[in-house]
Amino acid sequence: MNSPIASATCAGLLALLALCQDALAEQRQYTAAISSTGKVLRQSSNWLDKVEVSGQPGYFAEYTIAFKADVFARQPGYCSVAATDRSDYDDIFYGKAQLGGTPDRQQVKVQTHRVGDSRRDHDPRMSFLLLCVK
């Protein structure tokens, strides 16, 4: 069937598809695996500049992760983090990684700690995966 309505509908769908592809192309995902010492183990593209580790031993560790200058023109639209250390049951049951505030266009902060662990001599640093989307 080659009716004018079908042709117009098909043309409209193609235009909508082209707009959706442009929108999806703009939404870039960045991922990275970072060790407990702050070393970048791998990243989806070269988007991280440096990682600094600080914090309070026995309580929490804070990772300040600087982005390369040309990665984000504005603050990331979304970031998420997940702890990946699983060396013992304490890591599995108590280990947690979380964002330390709202990311900006230069950096994101990640905090790791063991929730509910009463020992004050533990090392709160943990490996984690980081995801940010433009």
Closest C-alpha among 111, 47, 48, 102 to residue 75: 102
DSSP letter assigned to residue 96? E
Predicted confidence band at 133 (pLDDT cuts at 50, 70, 90)?
very high
Between 72 and 115, the higher pLDDT residue: 72
C-alpha 25/C-alpha 120 separation (Å) is: 47
pLDDT at 27: 58
pTM: 0.78
40-43 and 48-56 strand pairing: unpaired
Contact 103, 76 (CB under 8 A): yes
pLDDT more than 70, % of the chain: 79
The answer to whether residue 130 scores a pLDDT higher than 90 is: yes
Domain ranges of the chain: 28-133
pLDDT tens digits, one per residue of 36-62:
999 999 999 899 999 999 999 888 999
Predicted confidence band at 2 (pLDDT cuts at 50, 70, 90)?
low
The answer to whether residue 8 scores a pLDDT higher than 60 is: no
The edge-to-edge listing of strands for the beta sheet with 48-56 is 48-56, 60-67, 107-114, 95-99
Task: Calculate the average pLDDT of the chain.
Answer: 83
Between 1 and 90, the higher pLDDT residue: 90
Pick the CATH number of 28-133 from 2.60.40.10, 1.10.287.1260, 2.60.40.2080, 3.30.300.130: 2.60.40.2080
pLDDT at 60: 93
Contact 98, 111 (CB under 8 A): yes
Between 51 and 18, the higher pLDDT residue: 51
